[in-house]
Each structure stands twice: as C-alpha cells, then as structure tokens.
Amino acid sequence: MKRPGPLLTLLAGLVLALFLLTLNATTGTKSASSYQEQSPGPTPARGSASPTPSPAPSRSRPADADYAGRTDDDAAAIAVSVRGGRAIAYFCDGRTQESWLKGDVEDDGALRLTGGHGAKLEGTLEDGKKIDGTVEVGGTRHAFTADRAKKPSGLWRATATVRSAKIDGGWIVLKDGSQVGVVTRDGEPSPAPRIDPGTGAVTIDGQRLTARPATP
C-alpha cells in the first residue's frame, strides 16, 4: 500500500486551516483588544463643605470729639477731649480746685483716666453724644454728664511765663456760653479771667496770651 504523497498532505493541511477560519468567523469570537472600556461609574458626590463662620463684627474706634458739662451736684465743670483713642479731661470748680486727667478710650467707649494726687475719672461714651461717669478729685467723688460740644464750647488751655512766673490756665466753655476756669501761677491756683471764645485771647497779669483748644 502506498503512503500519501507530499502534495496530498499539503492539501489536507490547507483544508483544515480553511475549516478553522470558517468556524471562527461563524462563532463570532472576539479578540481581547476588541472589548470596549467600560465607562466609569458616577463620581461619588463630595460632602458639602462646612460654611465658613462670619467674623464677629468689630467695634469702631470712638470718633474724635469734645464734651463739656457740669457735675450733678453743680460743684464744678468738666470737659473731655477724645482724639485717636486717647482722651484728656479737665475738672475745675472755677476757684481753686482743678485737675488734668488723661488715658485711653476703649473701643466700647469706656474711659478710665487718671491725674495727679490720685484723681481719676471713669465714664462711658453714649453713642458719641455724651459721656456719663464719675470723677474723683481731692478725695471727693462727683457724678457728671458731659454733652458733645460744638466750638467754641469745650476745653481750652494756655501756658506761658509771665514776669518770671509759670502760668498754666485751663478753661471750660459750656454750651450756654458760660466759662469756668482756673489759672495757676507757679502752682498757686486762682480764678481765671474770661477768654474770648472766638479767638482764645486772654490777658493775665497784664500779658496778652492766647488759649487754644486742648487735645490729647
């Protein structure tokens, strides 16, 4: 019996290859590269950020202004000048007692001023319209109210040397035009002469001086 020749073997191989190709096309087999990538799922929603708390409102610095009034017992006058968060005050009975005080003004309007010989003032600015408080001078405590002043009302001061004496004068001009003041000569107090509220001119011991609005 004869063995199949090489040509017959080659033909058989071709037939088998064609059969396999036909079978692959019929069954619809796909290669790995033909798969489409799956679309990503929905992105998880992020938690909403906590709202940033609003900053607490800050108080503004009290406005620059002048205040003048009398003590509740009508024993003396008092004036306060506020500038840039600082304040000076002048307490005067118009005869022999006076005191200059100074200190800070808090953002809430509180004043705590101090002066010589233990003098002190505590008060509160009320909406920039007035100051209510107490002042202690010479061991005596006085309640007072000082309303916001309009020029020429307010606090005035003049310093100079006259006939070798050191002069220091303080005046409070009230809203009704009245004046309360003391002049010290080398530390000795006495009632002050009137000033011209329009110019601040005043004559002390024959010397023409000029009083000016006093500020911190």
Q: At 183, list the tokens.
A: 């002049």
The confidence band for 90, taking pLDDT boundaries of 50, 70 and 90, is very high
Q: pLDDT tens digits for 8-25?
A: 556 666 656 565 555 555
Q: Which amino acid is at 84?
A: G
What pTM, to 2 d.p., does this model score?
Answer: 0.73
DSSP-derived letter for residue 200 is: -
pLDDT tens digit string along 174-200? 999 999 999 999 999 999 999 999 999
Is the pLDDT reported for residue 134 higher than 90?
yes
Predicted confidence band at 37 (pLDDT cuts at 50, 70, 90)? very low
Question: Looking at residue 12, what is its pLDDT?
Answer: 60
